[in-house]
């Protein structure tokens, strides 16, 4: 009887190990690439504004000599935060919902722009 339990235990362990290894080796589901959107360049002036369609990607590129930070806040909720963008760095965000989306493009938050998302 002990031999049977040991065999069943080993068989269960082998099946569990095989299924775990199979899951680890499976490829992740590829993300759907964003639709083409727009590129915005940050210079020493105010944040640029733009209009895109729902699902479009917006890419900001820091063309200024100073560091920048892109931060989208709507109704008190942070939608995205690029972190510090050094000159030449870029940040991309995909807008899925329709509406007006204000954002800041300076580290202190004093420079603002708006992205309008249409259907």
| pLDDT at 52 (0 to 100) | 94
Q: What is the pLDDT of residues 12-53, one digit of tens each?
A: 434 443 444 344 444 444 344 445 677 888 887 888 999 999
Among 92, 90, 112, 99, which residue's Cα sits nearest to residue 46?
112
| Secondary structure (3-state) at 12 | helix
Please name each of the domains of the chain with its CATH number.
35-118 (2.60.40.420)
Q: What is the pLDDT of residues 51-76, one digit of tens each?
A: 999 999 999 999 999 999 999 988 88
| pLDDT at 23 (0 to 100) | 43
| pLDDT at 20 (0 to 100) | 40
Does pTM top 0.85 for this prediction?
Answer: no
């Amino acid at each position: 009887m002990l031999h049977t339990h040991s065999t069943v235990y080993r068989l269960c362990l082998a099946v569990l190990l095989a299924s775990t290894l199979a899951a680890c080796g499976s490829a992740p589901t590829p993300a759907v690439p964003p639709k083409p959107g727009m590129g915005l360049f940050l210079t020493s002036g105010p944040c640029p504004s733009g209009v895109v369609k729902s699902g479009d990607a917006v890419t900001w590129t820091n063309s200024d000599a100073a560091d920048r930070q892109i931060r989208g806040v709507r109704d008190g909720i942070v939608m995205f935060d690029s972190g510090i963008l050094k000159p030449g760095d870029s940040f991309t965000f995909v807008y899925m919902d329709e509406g007006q989306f204000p954002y800041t493009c300076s580290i202190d938050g004093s420079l603002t722009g708006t992205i309008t998302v249409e259907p």
